[in-house]
Chains A and B, each alone.
Chain A
């Protein structure tokens, strides 16, 4: 994979160092807001252009399950788990197992 066919979202830099709860009405920097304003548009663009989209989770204070589930599980509910797993790549040196957790949310959303 070369830099030319890899897009990247760094959550801490591009969105928030302090990701919040699930919905917009929960408070600032929610998972829903992240999905609607950043993740989904970039995901759709990446699909159109046939490139991968890397999600860099490092540098944030932490992630609540509701934030992750709403962002990535929500994307999978909207766009299909298969497409999401094909297109997204995750990076988290701070906590590598977070990647497994997120992929679990994406797969679970397909089972419903």
Chain B
């Protein structure tokens, strides 16, 4: 008589058990990386990055850009835990930068970024209302009435309707009625056009981001426009005396940004009628039609309100424009 354990059912049982074991090992491999020399290493925990206490371009551009650069670099290699708990001062343009970079890092690297929230109530409320949680989805937060919105365009399109919607949304949050704002619209369209034509040196259509935040305390609507292109300095060509001055070190990058906004630098396209957008934005600020104008691009931080043009030690790859209106 043939023993049961040697029979067909016994062999099937062994195969099933082996398959279960293999599946278990496979699952386990997800947690354990095999490295050389037969050593085993636990999968890395998320790297902790602590955001600067002053998370504001106005007060700490250098620190914010350094933090974000580190986040971008680390996010390529591993999951991150971004600690926002110690933030004491947070401003809308910095929220826009943080949200966009976190989102971009997660999309590009397929590695998660998690984090906590600021303990300081004002900073927490700003995050909550700005659309940050909605965009990043890193934390399950209550969604109170939002007075901010973050929009992305994937192919650097100039879209007047989107600009109109963002502006009217911001104004409505503040005043309770949908109303446009001529200069805010024009600045946003100029920014979209600049990204379309100048943000890439390989004629690529890069995405841009536009954010709006209604600051009810200060009665202002705040806008940030952001792309991760080659930056203002990467996209223009100096000529003649300006080139010589810059080459000899008699003028630095902050001077070049000043020239761009005054309209002293010809367009990189060499086509007629170009290079008028940035000077018009600066004029709109000088004439009080837009309040606060901040530019961050490459190694330059420019605050047109305080007339501070500062060269940073940290490079920001892209261009950020921030402006406010009092509708």
> A residues touching B (Cβ–Cβ < 8 Å)?
16-22, 26-30, 61-67, 69-70, 73-74, 77, 94-95, 105, 108-109, 112
Of B158, B180, B276, which contacts A65 at CB under 8 A? B276
| Chain B contacts for A28, CB-based, 8 A | 159-161
| Contact call A21/B192, Cβ cutoff below 8 A | yes
Of B189, B192, B272, which contacts A77 at CB under 8 A? B272
| Contact call A62/B273, Cβ cutoff below 8 A | no
| Contact call A62/B272, Cβ cutoff below 8 A | no
| Contact call A73/B182, Cβ cutoff below 8 A | no
Of A18, A27, A29, A70, which contacts B273 at CB under 8 A? A70
Does B285 have its Cβ within 8 Å of any Cβ on chain A?
Answer: no
| Chain B contacts for A69, CB-based, 8 A | 273-274, 276
CB of A105, distance to nearest CB on chain B (Å):
6
| Contact call A108/B160, Cβ cutoff below 8 A | no
| Chain A contacts for B280, CB-based, 8 A | 65
| Chain B contacts for A19, CB-based, 8 A | 160, 189
| Chain A contacts for B273, CB-based, 8 A | 69-70, 73-74, 105, 108-109
| Chain B contacts for A26, CB-based, 8 A | 157-158, 192-193, 196-197
> B residues touching A (Cβ–Cβ < 8 Å)?
157-161, 163-164, 167, 180, 182-186, 189-190, 192-193, 196-197, 272-274, 276-277, 280
| Contact call A95/B182, Cβ cutoff below 8 A | yes
| Contact call A64/B189, Cβ cutoff below 8 A | yes
Given known pairs A27-B158, A29-B160, A73-B273, the reply for A61 and B190 (CB within 8 Å) is no
| Chain A contacts for B277, CB-based, 8 A | 64-66
A17 to B276, CA, bound (A): 22
A94 to B185, CA, bound (A): 14
| Contact call A109/B189, Cβ cutoff below 8 A | no
| Contact call A108/B272, Cβ cutoff below 8 A | yes
A20 to B276, CA, bound (A): 15
Given known pairs A108-B273, A109-B272, the reply for A62 and B182 (CB within 8 Å) is yes
A108 to B185, CA, bound (A): 25
| Chain B contacts for A20, CB-based, 8 A | 158-160, 189
Q: Show 22 residue pairs from A and B whose CB-CB distance is below 8 angstroms, ordered by the A residue.
A: A19-B160, A20-B159, A26-B192, A26-B193, A26-B197, A27-B192, A28-B160, A61-B182, A62-B182, A62-B185, A64-B186, A65-B186, A65-B276, A66-B189, A66-B190, A67-B189, A69-B274, A69-B276, A73-B272, A74-B273, A108-B272, A109-B272
Of B164, B184, B190, B272, which contacts A18 at CB under 8 A? B164
* Interface class of chain A by DSSP: loop
| Contact call B159/A66, Cβ cutoff below 8 A | no
A105 to B280, CA, bound (A): 13
Instruction: List the B residue with the shortest CB-CB distance to A21.
Output: B158
| Contact call B193/A18, Cβ cutoff below 8 A | no
Instruction: List the A residue with the shortest CB-CB distance to B280.
Output: A65
Given known pairs A28-B159, A29-B160, A109-B272, the reply for A62 and B193 (CB within 8 Å) is no
| Contact call A27/B159, Cβ cutoff below 8 A | yes
| Chain A contacts for B274, CB-based, 8 A | 69
Of A16, A21, A94, which contacts B196 at CB under 8 A? A21
CB of A94, distance to nearest CB on chain B (Å):
7
Instruction: List the B residue with the shortest CB-CB distance to A64.
Output: B189
| Chain A contacts for B272, CB-based, 8 A | 73, 77, 108-109, 112
| Chain A contacts for B190, CB-based, 8 A | 64-66
A29 to B185, CA, bound (A): 14
A70 to B280, CA, bound (A): 16
A20 to B158, CA, bound (A): 6
A64 to B192, CA, bound (A): 10
A21 to B185, CA, bound (A): 12
Given known pairs A61-B180, A62-B180, A64-B186, the reply for A18 and B163 (CB within 8 Å) is yes
| Contact call B158/A63, Cβ cutoff below 8 A | no
CB of A62, distance to nearest CB on chain B (Å):
4
Given known pairs A21-B196, A26-B196, A108-B273, the reply for A62 and B161 (CB within 8 Å) is no
| Chain A contacts for B159, CB-based, 8 A | 20, 27-28
